[in-house]
Amino acid sequence: MAGETRVAKAITPKSLSYAQGMPRHHLALFAAFLTIAVLAPFFLYPVFVMKVLCFALFACAFNLLLGFGGLLSFGHAAYFGSASYIAAHSAKVWGLTPELSILAGTVVAAFLGLIFGYLSIRRQGIYFAMVTLAFAQMVYFFALQAEFTGGEDGIQAVPRGELFGFISLEADRAIYWLVLAIVFFGILFLYRIVHSPFGQVLKAIRENEPRAVSLGYQVNRYKLATFVISATFAGLAGGTKALVFQLASLTDVHWAMSGEVVLMTLLGGMGTIFGPIVGATVIITMQNYLATFGAWVTIIQGVIFVIGVLAFREGIIGVLSRKIKKPL
């Protein structure tokens, strides 16, 4: 599977100058991302920006598994969605504070990731994708049938509550800073994982699995660890999203959601650091501003995706990275 996927090339480390443990241009881009995200709510509708942020984190979590682990999961909605439901239920029914609600959702997503991951990493390529999809469909039907999920209605009017029990998050401008902190540090942490000794082994497995085995690496354990981490951060994004929209619904666990995150990652550039952020931004912006076209959005999205795949197979950031000969 790893051999079939085109991944942006890593560039020789000595040609880059480092600061704070990362190449200077990465540091600059993270600073730019943070600056834009801090200024954005003053110019744009905060809920829209928060949606972009949540999906950026979701796509980055997915990209860890696909772009760096070489594993295509077609069921990541299961982790995003289950965390969304659990966070919404915790906040609304149990009255937990927002940070604990999100944590509860994230923990459940991690646990699901552990079980589903354990059962699916034994399969390769398309079979792996099918197994993950099957598990995600089970979660979907559970969400449809279970009592607490509210069926077609989902869980509505979820209170955003008070952070640590005393900072009200009801205003969009207030919760925005929490969302930005979660997403920014979440993405930074994913960046660190990719650039850790663990990440190095993970990339080696993606590059040449039999060789990694012959060097004594127990590849399935690394894959499982990656799967769980990816599911955890997908859950973190899903739980946060539930509080932002004050809603958990079937859309969050639907297979179309799994497809959307694949789309965002591929369009932005899988195996790049900043690609999924750009991909999520493009897709969410399109959905938002093209909403007046109704059902046509899906078709327009499809056309853009086809053009994207044909014209720049490595994704927007992947192509850019190749042009400037630096990993992005």
Partner 1 sequence: MAADAILTAVGLTKEFKGFVAVDDVNLSVERGSIHALIGPNGAGKTTCFNLLTKFLQPTRGKITYKGDDITSMASADIARLGLVRSFQISAVFPHFTALENVRIALQRKRGDSYDFWRSQTVLNQYNDRAAELLADVGLTEFAEVQAAELPYGRKRALEIATTLALDPEMLLLDEPMAGMAEADVERITALIKRIAANRTILMVEHNLSVVANLSNRITVLARGKVLAEGPYEEVSKDPRVIEAYIGAGHG
State which of residues 34, 215, 303, 307 lies at the interface with partner 1 (CB under 8 A).
215
Q: How far is the CB of 306 from partner 1 (least distance, A)?
A: 27
Number of residues that bind partner 1 (CB under 8 A): 36
Asked if 193 interacts with partner 1 (CB under 8 A), we say: yes
How far is it, in rounded angstroms, from Cα 222 to Cα 228? Answer: 10
CB-nearer residue toward partner 1: 229 or 282: 229
Q: Does residue number 124 form part of the binding site for partner 1 (CB under 8 A)?
A: no
Q: Which of 35, 62, 116, 25 is nearest to 238 (CA)?
A: 62
Indicate whether 65 belongs to the interface with partner 1 (CB under 8 A): no
- Inter-residue contact 239 to 175 (CB < 8 Å): no
Q: Does 201 bind partner 1 (CB under 8 A)?
A: yes
Interface with partner 1 includes 53 (CB under 8 A)? no
Could you say whether residue 197 binds partner 1 (CB under 8 A)? yes
Q: Does position 146 bind partner 1 by CB under 8 A? A: no
Among 4, 13, 17, 295, binds partner 1 (CB under 8 A): 13
Phi, then psi, of 11 in degrees rounded to 5:
-110, 155
Candidates 25, 195, 322, 326: give the one binding partner 1 (CB under 8 A): 195
User: Which of residues 21 and 294 has its CB atom nearest to partner 1 in the complex?
Assistant: 21
Q: Does 12 bind partner 1 (CB under 8 A)?
A: yes
The pair of structure tokens assigned to 15 is: 């040609």
Output the smallest distance, CB 208 to partner 1, in A. Answer: 5
Stretch that binds partner 1, among 13-21, 49-57, 273-281, 294-302 (CB under 8 A): 13-21
Closest CA to 317 of 282, 274, 286: 274
- Region of residue 54 (phi > 0: left; psi between -120 and 50: alpha; otherwise: beta): alpha
From 47-55, 147-155, 162-170, 186-194, span contacting partner 1 (CB under 8 A): 186-194
Least distance to partner 1, CB of residue 202, Å: 9
Distances (CA, A) of 256 to 121, 183, 252, 285: 22, 23, 9, 17
CA distance 96 to 39: 30
* Residue 307, C-beta contacts closer than 8 angstroms, at least 6 positions apart: none
Q: Hunting for tokens 């004594």 — which residue is that?
A: 216
- 81 vs 113 by CB, closer to partner 1: 113
222 part of the interface to partner 1, by CB under 8 A: yes
DSSP structure string for 191-245: HHHHTSHHHHHHHHHHH-HHHHHHTT--HHHHHHHHHHHHHHHHHHHHHHHHHHH
E strands along 126-266, which residues?
162-163, 167-168
Minimum separation from the CB atom of position 66 to partner 1 (A): 16
- Which CB atom, from 12 or from 145, has the smaller least distance to partner 1? 12
* Amino acid at position 249, single letter: S
Question: Which residue in 150, 180, 52, 162 sits closest to 101, CA to CA?
Answer: 162
User: Which residues, listed in sequence order, are joined to residue 162 by a DSSP beta bridge?
Assistant: 168
Interaction with partner 1 in 70-99: which residues (CB under 8 A)?
A: none
Could you say whether residue 294 binds partner 1 (CB under 8 A)?
no
201, two tokens: 């082994």
Q: Is position 284 an interface residue for partner 1 (rule: CB under 8 A)? A: no
Residues at the site binding partner 1, with contacts judged by CB under 8 A = 7, 9-10, 12-15, 21, 189, 192-193, 195-201, 203-204, 207-208, 210-219, 221-222, 225, 229
